[in-house]
Structure 1
Amino acid sequence: MAKAVLTISSKNYSSWSLRGWLLCRMAGLDFEEEVVGPDDSASRAELLLLSPSFLVPRLQHEGAIVWDTLAIAEYLAELDPKKGILPEERVKRAHCRAVSGEMHSGFYNLRSALPMNLKARFEGFKIWSGAKPDIERILEIWRDCLKTYGGPFLFGNAPTLADAMYAPVCTRFRTYDVALEEATAAYSETILSWAPMLEWTEAALAEPEEIEELDVEF
């Protein structure tokens, strides 16, 4: 049987590609990566924040073609619920969906002010005031989940959809030197040192610099 194919864009810049890729790793899916170039319209729309779901990432699996990160997550959870992409318990699962949906549909100021860039480090970065409420809301979500479910991941001992959704935020907080207190800093470090994240980051750091206009267009 042919492998699944996951279409992604830049590993350095693409937060949505990272989310889809992490979900496939969590699901234990045997997949090949198909990387679209920086001139591809779907790739540029996603990288330039014109759409969170503009056909990238896109999963092709056993006749199904699924785009949009949440749709990919639901598809993978249906394939094998035991993989834990969504929690088993009903109330916990609903909470996971809610905080994941909030990331999917919101936090535009954060995305604009702190675009994902794994190669960069900006110590003492001055954060635009419009992005601060987004940061505070994200940290509030993290604190609540960690307190409720005990960590080290947002919904307990194992990663879920929510961790895949917030993983790019952890990279942004590191890139732009966002101050975190002990609990949220520990969570961010948990995600950044998670084996799939280390694999993605290594590939991102090795990625050639092919996207020259992104700093201007963001």
Structure 2
Amino acid sequence: MDKPTLYIGNKNYSSWSFRPWMALTGAGVDFEEVLIPFDFPGGNPDIKALSPTGRVPFLRHGALKISESLAIIEYAAELYPQAGLLPGDRADRALARSVSMEMLSSFQTLRSACPMNIRRAKAKIALPDGMEADINRIETIWRDLLQKSGGPFLFGGFGGADAMFAPVVNRFDIYDLVSRNDTLAYMETMKAHPAWRKWEEAARAEPWIVEEDEV
């Protein structure tokens, strides 16, 4: 079977695309990348002819099409078990899935008030109601997992759970939302990862400007 193809949106803005791209790239998975720029007010109509949901990201592997960041990461973890996208221990795998799903379904205040933007200059914003709770919960997740695993990533080595939180690292950074030393240390670890640096370099070189919150 051919290697998988990951369809993504603009690297500067697309938090949903960032997660599986970071996971696959960080784990050394060989895949093709197709970027569909969302430089129209309502997105890019071309995606509707390709994606089952009309959205990115999605992964095509042979005749199979998989939508949603976490589902793509889970599929890659099964396809390439040697890549280490999920922890080896069963209890840790369950915990990784739990926090990844919480990231996927929660923290709406943070998402709405602080869209991902790699090129944004670092500057504070006024925190809306509910933001502090989102920040505290994420910091607690990171702190507990790092203490349990010993770091430097959430489950020791880089994995899918780290990729799921990658856009949050950008948000915490560019909106200057956190000050705890352990949080900042984890963020620096993520930002130093070669996959992060590769994505960031490409995002900074993009010509498109999108006004929407998330792609």
Query: TM-score, with normalisation over the residues of structure 1?
Result: 0.87
Residue aligning to 1:210: 209
* 1:9-59 residue CA offsets vs partner (Å, 9 max, x unmatched): 010111010001112213433222212232396769xxxxxxxx8631111
Q: Does 1:174 align with 2:152?
A: no
Moved more, 21-30 or 175-184: 21-30
Q: Alpha carbons of 1:2 and 1:89: their partners in 2 closer, same or farther (altered >3 Å)? A: closer
CA distance in 2, matches of 1:54, 1:135: 31
Asked if 2 retains the 8 angstrom alpha-carbon contact of 1:3 and 1:31, the reply is: yes
Asked if 2 retains the 8 angstrom alpha-carbon contact of 1:97 and 1:162, the reply is: yes
CA distance in 2, matches of 1:175, 1:119: 9
CA distance in 2, matches of 1:76, 1:42: 27
The residue type paired with residue 89 of structure 1 is D
Shift of 1:5: 1.5
Q: Alpha carbons of 1:122 and 1:29: their partners in 2 closer, same or farther (altered >3 Å)? A: closer
Seq. identity, %:
46
Shift of 1:209: 2.7
Shift of 1:82: 1.8
Asked if 1 retains the 8 angstrom alpha-carbon contact of 2:27 and 2:158, the reply is: no
Residue aligning to 1:199: 198
CA distance in 2, matches of 1:147, 1:134: 20
Q: Alpha carbons of 1:61 and 1:80: their partners in 2 closer, same or farther (altered >3 Å)? A: same
Matches within 5 A, 1:142-153: 142-153=142-153
Asked if 2 retains the 8 angstrom alpha-carbon contact of 1:43 and 1:56, the reply is: no
Indicate the structure whose relative CO is greater, using CA pairs within 8 Å and at least 6 residues apart: 2
Residue aligning to 2:183: 184
Moved more, 126-135 or 80-89: 126-135
3-state SS of 2:162 partner: helix
Shift of 1:61: 1.5
3-state SS of 1:129 partner: coil
Moved more, 199-208 or 73-82: 73-82
Query: TM-score, with normalisation over the residues of structure 2?
Result: 0.88
3-state SS of 1:214 partner: coil
Q: Which runs of 5+ in 1 are unaligned?
A: 45-52
3-state SS of 2:116 partner: coil
3-state SS of 2:28 partner: coil
CA distance in 2, matches of 1:7, 1:63: 15
Asked if 2 retains the 8 angstrom alpha-carbon contact of 1:4 and 1:29, the reply is: no
Shift of 1:98: 0.5
The alignment of Structure 1 onto Structure 2 pairs a total of residues equal to 207
Asked if 2 retains the 8 angstrom alpha-carbon contact of 1:121 and 1:177, the reply is: no
Q: Which runs of 5+ in 2 are unaligned?
A: 46-52
Matches within 5 A, 1:1-218: 2-38=2-38, 39=40, 55-156=55-156, 158-211=157-210, 213-214=211-212
Aligned-residue CA RMSD (Å): 2.2
Q: Alpha carbons of 1:182 and 1:16: their partners in 2 closer, same or farther (altered >3 Å)? A: same
Q: Alpha carbons of 1:121 and 1:29: their partners in 2 closer, same or farther (altered >3 Å)? A: same
Asked if 1 retains the 8 angstrom alpha-carbon contact of 2:29 and 2:80, the reply is: no
